Structure 1
Amino acid sequence: MLTPFLRAKFDVVAFDLDGTLVDSPLNLAAIRQELGWQDGCDLLQSLAMLPDDASRQHAAEVIYRHEIQAAENSTLFPGVLDCLLQLQQSGIATAILTRNMRAATELMIDKLGIPISLVLTREDCAAKPDPEGLQRIAAHYQAAMHRLLYVGDFHFDLSTAANAGAQSCLLLNASNQQYAVNADWVMQDYAQLSRALR
């Protein structure tokens, strides 16, 4: 659970996008089925392992189409904008680190009015759980890594924070509670994070 001392503990709060800031109906199972890939496989790893340019191009086009459709139908989770405003008013820097492609990410940010300017996608740095993205965010804000909190909803997010030496916060949902044991902090919703800021 987050403590009342969040302002004293962190200089930067970075967020995952899908499933964290944004409810995006990206159907990973449908992508795997359309491409004939194994259930549960990592899409980016599977894409990178394809043997030739033509198959990689086809798979990339399928993934692109699904990501754009999901972005067009995305919505913000309740309390996100209030929480981000409170962070910024408190002098805590914000950023987004996502495995999404830039086109879908920019579509969601513009469509939903997310007030975060520092955004890293899979085109900008190594994909999570590689720590490069969080390292670049900390360097941008000249922040110590242990004073950076990464908020996400999936085990990749927690692993990324651990690999970088940052702290992690799991945003709970109906299907991710098994990851809570690996998070430094756990929150039910953005109202809880905002209360911690106050």
Structure 2
Amino acid sequence: MERFHFDTVGFDLDGTLIDTSGDLAAAVNHALAQDGRPPLSVDAIKPMIGGGARHMLAQGLAATGGGADPLLDQLHRVLLEYYEANIYVHSVPFPGALRALDELARRGVQVAVVTNKLERFALEVLRDAGLLDRLTCVIGGDTLGPGKSKPAADPILEMIRRSGGGTAAFVGDSIYDVAAAHAAGIPAVACRFGFLMQPVEELGANAIIDHFDELVPALNGLR
């Protein structure tokens, strides 16, 4: 087999490897209900996902009448407690995700996850999905400390370091993913099936896929 161009391929978690929208929406709506607010649909919450739980909840509050920081702080704790207790009820890997990871491993590629989800939650979701043992490393939004989550380059650079260095690419579904990859000097692949905040063509990715079956050919096209 011809040597694959990338030594490491990193992935976002929510909206890229795993459809976690049902469980995240349930957690947001549980928090909103504590303040007597109406629930939001899963489709309304999907574009709010990607910047971490606090950012997601802040947008949920804005969509239901707004709220000051003390309320956000209170409901953020409520959301995290609920989500931790109900972390993998509706979540499921996107079609072809496991097959794509196995194909990359067959080609000798190190596979990693960089997410803005808290590291402990990311590990639990990946474990429940049966993906954790396929990964070289998992870097969460809190792994490197404040200010060092996507769209900063830091977690991508740390992913490359922990994976042994060399060439890398990153796969995601948001502007945070593409911006972090480009800040780290590596190409980005965007997933049209993810939790898009805007048209996927506007993310500035180097390639776009509609299904994980397209991932390896797309990466080969980024030589």
- The TM-score bracket by the shorter chain reads 0.7 to 0.9
Task: Tell me if structure 1 keeps the 8 A contact 2:100–2:212.
Answer: yes
Corresponding residue number in structure 2 for 1:168: 188
| Residue 15 of structure 1 pairs with residue 11 of structure 2 | yes
| Residue 63 of structure 1 pairs with residue 74 of structure 2 | no
Cα distance in 1, alignment partners of residues 31 and 101 from structure 2:
34
Cα distance in 1, alignment partners of residues 3 and 188 from structure 2:
13
Deviations along 1:45-71, whole A, 9 cap, x unmatched? 688xx867x973x34422313533343
State the identity %. Answer: 21
Shift of 1:148: 1.4
Deviations along 1:162-183, whole A, 9 cap, x unmatched? 1211111001127636132411
Distance 1:7 1:32, change over 3 A: farther
Cα distance in 2, alignment partners of residues 172 and 51 from structure 1:
33
Deviations along 1:58-113, whole A, 9 cap, x unmatched? 34422313533343321111111111111111011110001111232122111111
Shift of 1:33: 4.0
Please, which runs of 5 or more residues in structure 1 have no aligned partner?
Answer: none
Corresponding residue number in structure 2 for 1:156: 176
| Residue 76 of structure 1 pairs with residue 81 of structure 2 | no
TM-score normalised according to structure 1 size? 0.77
TM-score normalised according to structure 2 size? 0.70
Deviates more, 1:174-183 or 1:26-35: 26-35
Q: 2:160 is aligned with what amino acid?
A: A
Cα distance in 2, alignment partners of residues 178 and 90 from structure 1:
32
Query: The residue matched to 2:4 in structure 1 has which SS?
Result: helix
Q: Where in structure 2 are the equivalents of 1:76-95 lying within 5 Å?
A: 76-95=93-112
Q: Where in structure 2 are the equivalents of 1:89-168 lying within 5 Å?
A: 89-114=106-131, 115-125=134-144, 126-144=148-166, 147-168=167-188
Cα distance in 2, alignment partners of residues 65 and 93 from structure 1:
33
Alignment size in residue pairs: 186
Deviations along 1:121-174, whole A, 9 cap, x unmatched? 112022211111101011123424xx2111011111111111211111001127
